[in-house]
Chains A and B, each alone.
Chain A
Amino acid sequence: MTSNVPAIEPDYLHAQTNSKGIGAWIFSTDHKRIGILYMVSMLVFFLTAVVLGVLMRLEMLTPGKTIMQPQTYNTFFTLHGIMMIFLFIIPGLPAVFGNFLLPLMIGAKDVFFPRLNLLSWWLFITGGLLALVSLFLPGGPADTGWTFYVPYSIRTTTNVIPALFAAFILGFSSILTGLNFITTIHRMRAPGMTWFKMPLFTWALYSTAWIQILATPVIGITLLLVVVERLFGVGIFDPNLGGDPVLYQHLFWIYSHPAVYIMILPGLGVVSEILPVFARRTIFGYKVIAYSSLAIAFIGSLVWAHHMFTVGMSNTGMFIFSLLTFLVSIPSAIKVFNWIATLYKGSIKIEVPFLFVLSFIFQFSIGGLTGLMLGVLAVNIHVQDTYFVVGHFHYVMFGGTGFGLMAAMHFWFPKMFGKMFKKIPAIIGWLLMTLGFNMLYFPMFILGYLGMPRRYYDYLPQYQSYHIISTVGSWILFIGILIIFINLLISLKKGKKASANPWGGKTLEWTVASPPPVENFHEIPVVEKGPYDYSEYEIKPESVK
């Protein structure tokens, strides 16, 4: 298919709108502009949180005080968590790339509720700003950790209420995005695009959207209850008043464990999108990958209590939650095996997005396997709340989703801005990131196994060598991230003009100009083939003989 847009139609970046200047962006209901808005705001939060992380690592370089006071350290890890989780990883792929790509991928002109979409971004920004404001209010930034566990979150005198309220508003934004996406996917697919001709990223977004609307309200009410408890002294979770702090943990994880899949599912979708393009091969097991997204969303909602094995639960309960936790690994592993099978006999073209995908698969596999170890009751009791857990979730969240996001940024950069990026600096950035990442987080598995607890400010001298390796890794990773971002920023200005389809993708977004015109499609396309039909490149069975 060739571009179906006449050359005269203005692209979305330069189109004339009713408002001028920044207003043309922050009041725009164009899903592409909203996607870019999310991207800019999210990356600001991301970089802030990265700097906090680097400083925390620096503090851990030596035992005792290195650069900051214990209380500062507490607020740093809390903010690092809140920002990374609520402001970066949860909205990262769905809000940025989902908004930008979903309508393009299914052949629609916009999402179903464009104005609601804009409202979601406004809520996101309000929540983000509220979180930032809480840093500077008297009382000091929250120091509870991003989980806001009671009873400490009720007792501490820091600004927990603004932080909780910020998370609540961000949840609202997430819900609205989710219901918008579900409606869009149900009602706006181009003629001929049946469910099983949808791109796999769309499937991932669909599963994610269901978790967003089914799980987020639970955390909403839970956080709200902590706010009410702090403001009015209603004792729902306060043990002094008959309440039960363990109930808080249950409710918190009923959301927050499925939220882990809000974070990782779109990343898995990105990989399924990028691999077939650079392997020039029809993706292996399309339907199974699509179903496995739904399976992850479903089973992932039933495993929350594996966060609480040491909190006090019946043996039967522990056994059931351990078993269910194992079950989630099946659909995840199905995806990984299908990706590997897609690479088999592919004619692989090494490009930057592909490299990031390789890191993704490697790191996500390590993260997944250590997740299985954590699901084993006996091991869990040993490494509960140690650096092992920190290593595990960073391997999944950053090593998976974070690298998936980097892959997506490079893969769709030409489509979003109509410019190509420089390949060599991007590869150097990728290399440093992968190297630094593994150096930073792998020692944490050993540290955790040896008994170093998470969130501790101080530690015994025998742990120091691992901490040094880890901290040096954080520097390498940080330099890698900087190179990546600077390269992309320079390419925005100076990059070569990108063609409509620089990578040779087969999904619908590659059939429109780069950057896409305001209305996406001049004529709504009619879909006949599946999204990854590379049969022309593949070796036919008769030629194998």
Chain B
Amino acid sequence: MTTAAATHTYRDDVGSRMGMWLFLFTELILFGGLFIIYAVYRFKFPEQFSLAARELDTLIGTVNTIILLTSSLTVALSITAIQQGKKHLSMMLIGMTIIFALAFLVNKYFEWSHKISIGIYPQSPELLNKPPGEILYFGLYYVMTGLHALHVIIGMVVLVFSMVFIAKGKINQQSYVKLEAGGLYWHLVDIIWIFLFPLFYLIS
């Protein structure tokens, strides 16, 4: 083997997966900071937090939870499909995942715009009249679900790239670690939502 060829053929899927997992840890810790803040303020204003939580629509939250959980399934299936060499099936499943992600965002859009239309948004006179715990609750609600929505969008971009790579044959039956990484990222987005959902919608 020549030296030049040695670097180009260097491949270590275990290492690549490890890098991805490390990155996911940093994402979890990023949200971890927000969860700490949530915990501190919930401890400080328990009644006001549960009062404010009643303003959220549990139905929309539940629907979004189901959508995200299903999308995690389709992305996992797409990895199995590529492992079996079913290229088109795999692409179709990723496509479905992206559609679920879009549906999630549309839902979120309606939820946010409804809140804003009834005057609940940062610095709104309506919100400033409420006690501090409720102001904090809605501040955190917008920040945390907003940051999560941003991650949904990043995840969609990652999935689109995965689809292109499959079409070009860069991700194939022999080498699918890139798709695995994309899938892991999508599971992360799902898991974070699994924590956000009870914290904001269910505890009231």
Chain A interface residues toward B at CB < 8 A: 109-110, 112-113, 116, 175, 178-180, 182-183, 186-188, 213-214, 216-218, 220-222, 225, 228, 232-236, 241-244, 247, 251, 519, 522
CB-CB < 8 A to A522: which residues of B?
3
* Chain A residue with the shortest CB-CB distance to B26: A217
User: Nearest-CB distance from B203 to chain A (Å)?
Assistant: 18
CB of A183 within 8 A of CB of B26, answer no
CB-CB < 8 A to B37: which residues of A?
225, 236, 247, 251
CB of A251 within 8 A of CB of B33, answer yes
Residue from B34, B40, B139 within 8 A of A241 (CB atoms)? B139
Please measure, in the bound complex, the distance between the C-alpha atom of A175 and the C-alpha atom of B29, giving whole angstroms: 12
User: Nearest-CB distance from A42 to chain B (Å)?
Assistant: 23
Interface check B119, CB cutoff 8 A: no
The A-contacting residues of B in range 134-170, CB under 8 angstroms, are 135-136, 139-140, 142-143
Please measure, in the bound complex, the distance between the C-alpha atom of A112 and the C-alpha atom of B16, giving whole angstroms: 8
* Secondary structure of the A contact surface, majority rule: helix
Known pairs A218-B30, A236-B37. 5 more at Cβ < 8 A? A182-B18, A213-B25, A217-B30, A236-B140, A243-B136
Interface check B22, CB cutoff 8 A: yes
CB-CB < 8 A to B36: which residues of A?
251
* Chain A residue with the shortest CB-CB distance to B18: A183
CB contact under 8 A between A235 and B122, given known A112-B15, A221-B34, A242-B135: yes
CB-CB < 8 A to B40: which residues of A?
244, 247
CB-CB < 8 A to B128: which residues of A?
241
CB of B30 within 8 A of CB of A220, answer yes
CB contact under 8 A between A235 and B22, given known A217-B29, A217-B33, A242-B45: no
* Chain B residue with the shortest CB-CB distance to A213: B26
Interface check B46, CB cutoff 8 A: no
Interface check B133, CB cutoff 8 A: yes
> How many interface contacts (CB-CB < 8 Å) are there between A and B?
102
Please measure, in the bound complex, the distance between the C-alpha atom of A234 and the C-alpha atom of B30, giving whole angstroms: 18
Which stretch of B6-14, B74-82, B106-114, B191-199 is in the interface?
B6-14
User: Nearest-CB distance from A91 to chain B (Å)?
Assistant: 17
CB-CB < 8 A to B136: which residues of A?
235-236, 241-243
CB contact under 8 A between A234 and B15, given known A110-B7, A216-B26: no
Pairs across A and B, CB under 8 Å, 29 listed: A109-B7, A112-B15, A112-B19, A179-B26, A183-B15, A183-B18, A183-B19, A183-B22, A186-B18, A213-B22, A217-B29, A218-B32, A218-B33, A220-B30, A221-B30, A225-B37, A225-B143, A232-B123, A232-B142, A234-B143, A235-B136, A235-B139, A236-B136, A242-B131, A242-B135, A243-B132, A244-B44, A251-B33, A251-B37
* Chain B residue with the shortest CB-CB distance to A242: B132
* Secondary structure of the B contact surface, majority rule: helix
CB-CB < 8 A to A183: which residues of B?
15, 18-19, 22
Give the most central of A109, A110, A183: most B CB within 10 Å.
A183
CB of B15 within 8 A of CB of A187, answer yes
Residue from A116, A187, A247 within 8 A of B14 (CB atoms)? A187
CB-CB < 8 A to A228: which residues of B?
143
CB-CB < 8 A to A251: which residues of B?
33, 36-37
CB of A519 within 8 A of CB of B142, answer no
CB contact under 8 A between A218 and B29, given known A235-B135, A244-B40: yes
B interface size (C-beta, 8 A): 39
CB-CB < 8 A to B3: which residues of A?
519, 522
Contact string against A for B residues 59-103, beta-carbon threshold 8 Å, 1 for contact and 0 otherwise: 000000000000000000000000000000000000000000000
CB contact under 8 A between A179 and B33, given known A241-B139, A243-B136: no
CB-CB < 8 A to B139: which residues of A?
234-236, 241
User: Nearest-CB distance from A315 to chain B (Å)?
Assistant: 20
* Chain A residue with the shortest CB-CB distance to B134: A242
CB of A113 within 8 A of CB of B19, answer yes
Give the most central of B15, B26, B36, B128: most A CB within 10 Å.
B26
User: Nearest-CB distance from A47 to chain B (Å)?
Assistant: 32
CB of B14 within 8 A of CB of A179, answer no
Give the most central of B4, B18, B44: most A CB within 10 Å.
B18
CB contact under 8 A between A233 and B122, given known A228-B143, A251-B33, A251-B36: yes
Please measure, in the bound complex, the distance between the C-alpha atom of A188 and the C-alpha atom of B11, giving whole angstroms: 11
User: Nearest-CB distance from B192 to chain A (Å)?
Assistant: 13
Please measure, in the bound complex, the distance between the C-alpha atom of A464 and the C-alpha atom of B114, giving whole angstroms: 63
* Chain B residue with the shortest CB-CB distance to A524: B6
CB of B33 within 8 A of CB of A221, answer yes
CB-CB < 8 A to A241: which residues of B?
128, 132, 135-136, 139
CB of A109 within 8 A of CB of B12, answer no
Give the most central of B14, B29, B123: most A CB within 10 Å.
B29
User: Nearest-CB distance from A123 to chain B (Å)?
Assistant: 14
Please measure, in the bound complex, the distance between the C-alpha atom of A180 and the C-alpha atom of B41, giving whole angstroms: 36
CB-CB < 8 A to B135: which residues of A?
235, 241-242
CB-CB < 8 A to A178: which residues of B?
22
CB-CB < 8 A to A113: which residues of B?
19
CB-CB < 8 A to B44: which residues of A?
244
CB of B132 within 8 A of CB of A182, answer no
CB contact under 8 A between A186 and B133, given known A110-B7, A247-B40: no
CB of A214 within 8 A of CB of B143, answer no
CB-CB < 8 A to B18: which residues of A?
182-183, 186-187
Q: Which 9 A-B pairs have the closest CB atoms?
A: A242-B132, A187-B15, A233-B123, A221-B33, A217-B30, A234-B139, A217-B29, A179-B22, A234-B122
User: Nearest-CB distance from B1 to chain A (Å)?
Assistant: 10
User: Nearest-CB distance from B95 to chain A (Å)?
Assistant: 27
* Chain A residue with the shortest CB-CB distance to B141: A234
CB-CB < 8 A to A112: which residues of B?
12, 15, 19
CB of B33 within 8 A of CB of A222, answer yes
CB-CB < 8 A to A187: which residues of B?
12, 14-15, 18
